[in-house]
Amino acid sequence: MKTYLLLAWRNLWRNKKRTMIASASVAFAVIMAIFTRSMQYGAYDYMIDASVRMYTGYLQIHTNGYWDKRSLNKSMKIPGKKLAEIESLEHVTDVVPRLEAYSLVSSSNVTKVASVIGIDPVKEDGMTNLRKKVVAGSYLSDSSKGLLVAEGLAELLKVNVGDSIVLYGQGYHGVTAAGIFPIEGIVKFKLPALNKSMVYLTLPTAQWLFFTDGRITSLSIMIDRQDKLDDVRASLKKLFNDDYEILSWAEMMPDLVQSIEIDNAGGIIMLGILYVVIGFGIFGTIMMMTAERTKEFGILIAVGMKKWRLGFVSVLESIMLSLVGAAAGTLVSIPMLMYLKDHPIQLTGESAQAMLAFGLEPILPFSNSFMIYINQLEVVIIIALLSAYYPVSYIRRLNPVRAMRK
């Protein structure tokens, strides 16, 4: 085997200029492909992380049927011991309890339906950075008896910090839930739908209002690595019986999954076009190398060399030619992506405004996932093997006498 590899390597560099041009074209294609996929995967990871931090978490625990009905009657009690077990699981970083309901929110003659959420102020801030969204007044403390109201909702109700608003709705098992609460702070969300419909109370206050007696509607789970989601989910299922459902962010946000899949399909098509072009370049180089050595092949076969050995050497040459370019492209890409991952490109102008409108930081993030490099290497090897079919077929049909006359 060593002899075949050495022979293929020497044959490859018999025409250094041609080999360098072909390898450079492969390297350029690999760099473009790696950067494209890195940008896409980085954007997907950022979108997912921003979305789950805004509301759902990577995983959520509810009683069966809650996610479809969103009813307080599907609320649950989680013992402190169970919460401690969840928090101790590997890769779990935050466990955020919530009590969610809908209620009429009134001030003077203005009434609006809003989402009322009971939160643990410290844990909620650790997940959603809710404290940073406070634009007036102060954030809730554990002992707060007041509430936070979204800026757009406050404008509709014509209220400000220090004013009181009435919450009126339906509590646990149909009990009337009503109360008057002072506004301690106003929070601003980038998404208009959230900015006109959110009210936050401390969890004990919300439980008192809706008569839930220590119950919650959901537990949101944050993890440190997205690729460990399935492992964490499996561990959570061991802690809960069939009366509970454990949903991933993908199951709770199918629209986001669909958007990512559509964009990913477009990226794959563009990469396919790029690699088809470069594939023809590799094939053309291999075809020229084969045609130039027809007489050489005829002489080798005439003196007793097996055709399959010549074909095997040709396959090795094709693979080596592609791998030289792929290795060069990868080596150039790695330090650049390492830098861009830690220093994402800052967007400006209309692109920045569009991202801010969705509550996202105006950046172009990159991913440095090891699988990006592996995937490009796999594609290059496949192209090399397909290109190697020509010299193998050519040698198999070669007549040594006619070849030596050329």
Residue in this structure with the two tokens 């050497």, named with its chain if needed: 313
Are 13 and 159 members of one domain? no
Q: Is residue 175 in a domain? A: yes
| Residues 235 and 89 occupy one common structural domain | yes
Residue 251 domain-assigned? no
What tokens were used for 213? 């007696």
> What is the pLDDT at residue 241?
86
97 in the same domain as 40: no
Q: Which residues contact 102 (CB under 8 A, 6 or more apart)?
A: 70, 113, 114, 115, 116, 169
According to DSSP, the β-strands at 198-202 and 110-119 are parallel
- Is residue 190 helix, strand or coil? coil
pLDDT for residue 65: 86
Range of the domain at 372: 2-52+256-405
- Domain membership flag for residue 246: no
Tally the domains of the chain.
2
d(CA 55, CA 63): 18
- The tens digit of pLDDT for each residue in 113-166 reads 999 999 999 999 988 889 989 999 999 998 899 999 999 999 999 999 999 999
Q: Would the pTM count as exceeding 0.95?
A: no
pLDDT in tens, 13-61: 777 887 888 888 888 888 888 988 898 888 888 888 888 887 888 999 9
Q: Is residue 292 domain-shared with residue 397, that is, in the same domain? A: yes
| Same domain assignment for residues 176 and 324 | no
Closest CA to 313 of 8, 1, 99, 2: 8
261 and 353 in one domain?
A: yes
Q: Are residues 119 and 263 in the same domain?
A: no
Q: Which residues of the chain have pLDDT under 50?
A: none
pLDDT of residue 256: 83
Place of tokens 């789970």: 221
Q: Which residue has the tokens 């150039």?
A: 332
